[in-house]
Chain A
Amino acid sequence: MYQQYKLRETISFVKLYKIMKNKKTSALSALTMSAMAIPGMGTQQAKADVAPENSVFSYRYTNYQESQAPKERVFSGSIDRYNIQVHQFSLLAPIKEKYSIKTDLVLESLSGASPIRNEKLDDGSTRMYMSGATIDEQRVDLLVAPKRHFESGNLGGMLSISQENDYESTALGVDGALEIFNKHTTLNGSLSWSRDELSPTGGGPADGKTKDSFSFYEGLSQVIDKYRVFQAGFGYTRHSGYLTDPYKGFDLRPDERNQYTLTTAYRHYLNTPMLGAGSWHLDYRYYEDSWKIRSHTISTAWWKDTTIFGQSFTLAPSLRYYMQNSAYFYTLDSNPTDEFYSSDARLSSFGALTFGFDAKWKTEKATYTFGFAQYLSSEDWNLLEGESDETPGLVDFTTISLGVDYPFSF
């Protein structure tokens, strides 16, 4: 049996070598094209990716609520920020033995006010101009992703359409994974293209403008031993077209943005004296772009199965820390004169913490899910930067989610 495993491993390696030896194809593009993949940070574990045995229908409701803007800093407009109701529907179904298809539908209802601009006063404080009337919008997002499963990986496609009152986005994508070294290593990659069209309420210079995006990701997942897996990857995204926010005052942004990410993920099944057995998650992302924004994101979680009153539960507390520096054209000047400028708090220097808790209740017929998250942000929480200007436009929010996963057979 050992000889058979070594033979299969050698054959997998030879196949890869032949792909890479093709003189019409560079090594990097060969890895990209041949990738039949765990789609990015997908749902599959570090094992052979196979078509699911059963279909699964999932529904998740989330209430997203932002904290009010600080009254003493709001010069005009409403202090009541966004409330969003989100309904997520998902259907994953096998088709014969070698195919599967995933369909995701998201329905969102938004209400509330958002910042229009911020400016720094002579005393060093920052005041906000908020939108007046409460907006009331809906967004519909539909994604369809078929997949072909092979013995050593998979190949998939994606079509998605997002539509809201003032914005439409259409995207196409392909992804794939290739398992090598006796399925200990998985090469994965994905490409996507999208075209967005703006039609802001009230018209204006942005009406009819478009934004085009191209993105790719290349990653590698590795089984370290029977308790640990590791993943690393590189991503690039290019946006071009109208990138200025049409609802912000004194806002003019470059018509191009190049984004780069380096990501790592680590999963470790542990048996600890205090917490018992569970899975430790650790993820890190480095980001930088051509707007001179750099950020670090680190998150960790502990996923543990347990029994409560004879029922099977999974409990998962989590923590996320994020920090970014400001875009080079971020300014709080009342009358900016540079080529590009924006006082959007999302382009400022800040740090943020997310405290989360998720739970699953597993019954014979379905799994019920619960989630809670509290996001807090501050201009003083970027550990790598010194003092920043007061940024009252930064947002705190709370999410509460309830969901159900229902497996069935057609």
Chain B
Amino acid sequence: MNNQIIIIAYCIYLPVSIALTFYVAKSLFKNSKVFMLDIFNGREEIAFSTNKLFEVGFYLLNVGFALLILEFNVNLTDYQLMIEKLSSKIGGFSIYLGIMLFLNLYLFFRGKKKSKENRNIHTVSQGIA
């Protein structure tokens, strides 16, 4: 009985956390194409490949983390405890995903700012020349 509750908890946790990661990555990297084009001055090849590389990195880190924290530290004895532990685990994981999302957004904004600075320097030096 006890054994079965833990297996049910695993079977709920794994699909939910992996689907959440895929959903977040999809929506983040659909919208980041605009940033990438801006950062690389509209050079499409390198912009899209950078986007794809960041996407793969995001998947790897987050799916790996989701699988790594699978274990429940407490012995699950009844369904009430299972639901509580499961919800705290999935909640913690989605907070972690949110932090990763904002980290990636921060990277994109920083890249945008840096490329803007570079472009300004370039145009100024060209103007002087």
A and B: bona fide binding partners: no
**CB within 8 Å of A: which residues of B?**
none
